[in-house]
Amino acid sequence: MRKRHIFSIGILLALSLVIGACSMSFQASYSSSVQNMSGSFTDLSGDDSKEVTFKKAGTYTLSYETSVQAGNLKIELLSPQDEVILILDSTAKGDKELSISKGDTYKLKVTADHAKGRYNLKFKLK
């Protein structure tokens, strides 16, 4: 249970990696098959990436929603082979299914330029 909580925190940190003159607030919740991550930001600038390793194999549904009122924001999800699986720009909403093997490592890459807005991500194991 503690490792799963640490995983949730890792995802949140990945989405808030680079902070210029930035004010952010984050929320996260976790159950055995669902991880929710959300946040808001008022002036996010820079770029960085974070690797995330999945402990449990299976098909995950990633539900996402981003809304940017000012500036630019791009969040990329990269496969273990560094292929771009998903790009979230400015305002996006949808679902993406991912087949993940135990121990697979994915990378979240965040690029922002004075972005103001919010995001909500939910990984759910089917």
How far apart are the C-alpha atoms of 46 and 15, rounded to whole Å? 12
Instruction: Indicate the number of domains in the chain.
Output: 1
pLDDT in tens, 25-77: 334 333 434 566 677 888 888 887 777 777 888 998 888 888 999 999 888 88
Q: Residue 9 is encoded by which pair of tokens?
A: 């925190």
Domain that includes residue 56, residue range: 2-125
For residue 53, give every residue at least 6 positions away whose Cβ sits within 8 Å of its Cβ, in sequence order, or none.
Answer: 103, 104, 105, 106
CATH number of the domain encompassing residue 58: 2.60.120
pLDDT in tens, 67-108: 999 999 888 888 999 999 888 887 889 998 988 888 888 887
Angle at 62 between CA 119 and CA 57, to 5 degrees: 135
Q: Which of 74, 19, 77 is nearest to 52 (CA)?
A: 77
At 124, is the pLDDT very low, low, confident or very high (cuts 50, 70, 90)? confident
Q: Which of 3, 19, 25 is nearest to 118 (CA)?
A: 25
